[in-house]
Amino acid sequence: MYLAVVKAFAESASFRLPEAHTFHKTLPLPPRTTLVGLLGAALGLTAESAQEWVETHQVKMGVAVRHRGQMKDLWKYRKIKTAEVISDVLLREHLIDLVTTLVYAAEDASVAEQIVSGFQDPVYALTAGPSDSLLKVRETLLIGNANITPTTIFQFCVIPGDITGAGRYRPDPAVLRGPIIESVRAPWVAHLPVRFAYEGGRREVEARGPFSFIGNRIHLADPVDAYHVGEEAIAVS
């Protein structure tokens, strides 16, 4: 397997749940659909074409993220409908100083090379969610003959499936001994879109899947296959 690794930074980021409207709660890490969208922007593809490209080339992807905190941004906006003006507020959560490692895995070396080339010279601007949260690529790597390894220790990443059941994980002892002023994030699961249907200019969710968002370091009872990039263990789907 060949890995296209992208290391990037954003001063702010927000990855809202699809159903969110006036309160945009952010996911702690970018979901799979965001990774597909970033790849599409880098290669100059539409959202529908990016989805098809990923499926055609059987590209799998995963992510690890660190950030320095969160904040909430309050907006007041007006919707103008003919003579009627509707005023409303929007509250959006943001992650601050986000540092991320994106991993795209492909069996074909030329596909991984195309991904690396795309992120080195993206066709469209890359964003960490909203259009004003620009994502800066700091480094790109092409790793050949990458081996996937059964792994039990994870932190600050996304694992496909639900690992949050009783007895399926335990927190790392060092996390429990940490300073009381430091926030500790336990794993939690969300059922998120994995595929969209595009028809007549509209986009609708066609399929969903469970994803476990891992915060501070945990130990799994059953290993999950992952790639190791530096100090990061990253599961892909």
- Tens-place pLDDT, residues 186-215: 899 999 999 999 998 888 999 999 999 999
Position 155, amino acid = Q
Tell me which residue has tokens 């595929």: 195
Q: To 10 degrees, what angle do helices 32-43 and 47-56 make? A: 100
Of the candidate CATH numbers 3.40.50.2300, 1.10.510.10, 3.40.140.10, 3.30.70.2660, the domain formed by 2-234 belongs to: 3.30.70.2660
- Tens-place pLDDT, residues 52-108: 999 999 999 999 999 999 999 998 888 777 778 888 888 899 999 999 999 999 999
The domain spans of the chain are: 2-234
Strand 232-234, strand 149-154: pairing = unpaired
pLDDT at 180: 66
pLDDT at 85: 80
Q: Model-level pTM greater than 0.85?
A: yes
Residue 21: pLDDT band with limits 50, 70, 90: confident
pLDDT at 35: 98
